[in-house]
Amino acid sequence: MKPRLILDAHLDLSFNAMDFNRDLRWPLERIRRHELGMRDHVFRSRGVVSFPEMRRGRIGLCVATQLARFVDRFSKMPGWNSPEQAWAWTQGQHAWHREMERVRELRQLRTGPELLEHAARWRDADEATAATLPIGYVLSLEGADSIVTPRHLETAFGYGLRIIGLTHYGPGIHGQGTDALGPLTPRGHELLREMRRLGLILDATHLSDESFQDALDRWDGPVWASHSNCRALARWNRQFDDDQIRELARRGAVIGMAFDAIMMVHGWAHHRSRPEDFQLRLEKIIEHIDHICQLTGSASHVMIGSDLDGGFGTEQMPMDLDSIADLARLDDLLAARGYAPDAVEGILSGNALAFLARHLPRS
């Protein structure tokens, strides 16, 4: 039986291509060998994402991000010195997506019917056909610092942007992100109104607790969380607490399970801990899935949002995850935990597909 189709709701493909100079068309081993000896980042030669590996694991659809953060001059975090520079960088990422479309590695999916048609092609494809199919992507913006004005948002919507997360790490132009405190800013409130007018999806990932509540108090449109795990199992404000999970489920959201070790276990020390210290394996993510299913009474609010190669590599992943293709092992792991075939299919792709088909434009 061929592997199930997987939809990964969060991959920083253009970030890897443009910021880290990775040609994702290469075999994974070639990318790793090319980076041997590089010392600019600890994750060099430890990546797990390439287009061939995505196809091998039947990850035929994904949500692909644009990402460029604005930071003030006193911040220690990397980022651009102006929102205009951040906007320009996202346009370079957009151009990379278009080049990958031109050579038929990627296919942008802007509407619900396009999404479902592409999913059907992947489900029906045999192994040889899957090795040649373009990978479908829905375009998302992780952190909205690059949206300088409402006109910039209209431009981005015009070229296919469909999902926006308002913040990333720390303080942002539109609100407070991970490890920051406080509600959205007035510009954040304005951006929410413009997003609703255009029909975009709100990504609740990376919002501080106060900004999360502020956003949901003002938002009556579609909301999901592309890559966030459970705070009950990994103590950090980057994860959702139980009340937030219940609130998202009440609104019909789907929550993407991320495979960053720091988001999977209690007590991970950044740049000091190793997966071996926790004997961390893929099974751990099933505990996060179980927790959400128990809280919500359903398996319909869970999806995969791996965040693989999102600024980290195998040094900060489960020990038995050496390629993004290993996500296909979740099929058997979920079945072994007692999940029915329909629930497994929902978690791997069906829940995200249903959500996106419902909320993307019809034409």
**What's the pLDDT tens digit per position in 48-80?**
999 999 999 999 999 999 999 999 877 778 899
Task: Report which of 303, 271, 332, 237 is spatially closest to residue 59, judged by C-alpha positions.
Answer: 303
Residue 110: burial class (beta carbons within 10 Å; 0-12, 13-18, 19+)? middle
Residue 186 forms part of a structural domain: yes
Whole-number pLDDT of residue 211: 98
| pLDDT tens for each residue of 186-238 | 999 999 999 999 999 999 999 999 999 999 999 999 999 999 999 999 999 99
Helices (H), 219-326: 242-250, 275-278, 283-296
* Residue 311 within any structural domain of the chain: yes
> CB-based burial of residue 231 (10 Å sphere; 0-12 exposed, 13-18 middle, 19+ buried)?
buried
| 163 occurs within a structural domain | yes
CA–CA gap between residue 208 and residue 193 (Å, rounded): 20
Name the band, by pLDDT with cuts 50, 70 and 90, for residue 1: low
Residue 363 tokens, joined: 């034409």
Tokens of 188: 């954040």
Give the tens place of pLDDT for each residue, 113-160.
999 999 999 999 999 999 999 999 999 999 999 999 999 999 999 999
Q: pLDDT, tens digit, for every residue of 293-303?
A: 999 999 999 99
* Strand ranges (E), the chain: 7-11, 61-66, 106-108, 135-142, 161-165, 201-203, 223-224, 255-257, 302-304
32 part of a folded domain: yes
Q: Which residues pair with 171 in a beta bridge?
A: 176
Q: How many CB atoms lie within 10 A of CB 74?
A: 5
Q: Tell me whether strands 161-165 and 135-142 are parallel, antiparallel or unpaired.
A: parallel
Number of compact structural domains in the chain: 1
CB 272 within 8 A of CB 243: no
Q: Which residues span the domain enclosing 338?
A: 7-359
In a domain, 2, yes or no: no
Look up residue 355 and give its two tokens: 């959500």
Taking the whole predicted model, whether its pTM rises above 0.95 is answered as yes
Whether 15 is covered by a domain: the verdict is yes
- In whole angstroms, give the CA distance from residue 304 to residue 297: 18
Please report, to the nearest 10 degrees, the dihedral formed by the alpha carbons of residues 59, 346, 287, 326 taken in order: -20
Can you read off the two tokens belonging to residue 155? 């431009």
Contact 220, 250 (CB under 8 A): no
- Per-residue pLDDT band at 3 (split at 50, 70, 90): confident
Q: In this structure, what token pair is assigned to residue 295?
A: 């809280």
CATH assignment of the domain containing 58:
3.20.20.140
